[in-house]
Structure 1
Amino acid sequence: MNTATPHSPMAYDRQPGFFSRAEMWLDARGKGAWIAAMVLGFIFFWPVGLALLAYMIWSKRMFNKSCNAMTRSRPRHMSKSSGNSAFDAYKSETLRRLEEEQDKFEDFLERLREAKDKAEFDQFMNDRANGSHPTDDTKDDAA
């Protein structure tokens, strides 16, 4: 017997609704699952496919590398309190530190990509300046 009233603390521990569970399930499987659901929606009942397409565009799921990278919001179980304030403080500090490390690592990877691009471009410009790259004229002369 559930005696939760709309304003009692038990009311907030309910399971997410069907649409929230479906969204989490599709997010866990990535962009391909969203596209498959949209295509199936168009095949079986076109308004469902159109609604999914509109939702994917509105929520920017279509244009991100992955659905999981779309937001930095924590899943529901991570923000839920364990009831132990010391553990909750430890958990939130650890999650903050891990997010910070992830941001620093992503910045490092971006700098690494930029340095590689610059090195490749500099090499191209040096080769071009030295005339060491084959051109259409030198290929014709060799033949």
Structure 2
Amino acid sequence: MNVFNINIPTEETPMTDTLTNTGPMRDARGWFSRAEEWLDQRGKGAWIAAMVLGFILFWPIGLALLAYMIWSKRMFNSSCSSRRRTANHGVNRTSGNSAFDAYKADTLRRLEQEQDAFEAFLQRLREAKDKAEFDQFMDDRARSGRQTTDGSEA
């Protein structure tokens, strides 16, 4: 008999490592921790779906989930800048083959030059379009100014 409510391992309920959260001791973490871990494994979409379901079932639940997601920074855990950093992470690594590394560096340099040239072309194109629109505006304004002076003289 367990007077002090201490979990004594037996053959039916073996003691497991609490750090690995396996076996019967796993239930000691509580339903909230298990649900949080389950949602974390499925990603941000699962958190958003749970929040939407919370709003549908009972709006304070959805509001509480939204507040928890913001407070624990689950909504903002991967920003565009971190994605960009991880996307460019493998660019500077060497393959071990010097010929391929030289080709790769040359190709990347050429692609960067082409990108810069294309961005400069787009900028010139925008400036030309803006100038054409401004010239059209000034011509329309001058035309409407001439019409009002012609109309007032008559």
TM-score range, shorter chain: 0.3 to 0.5
CA radius of gyration, larger in? 2
- Structure number with greater CO (CA < 8 Å, separation at least 6) is 1
TM-score, normalising length: structure 1: 0.46
TM-score norm. by structure 2 comes to 0.43
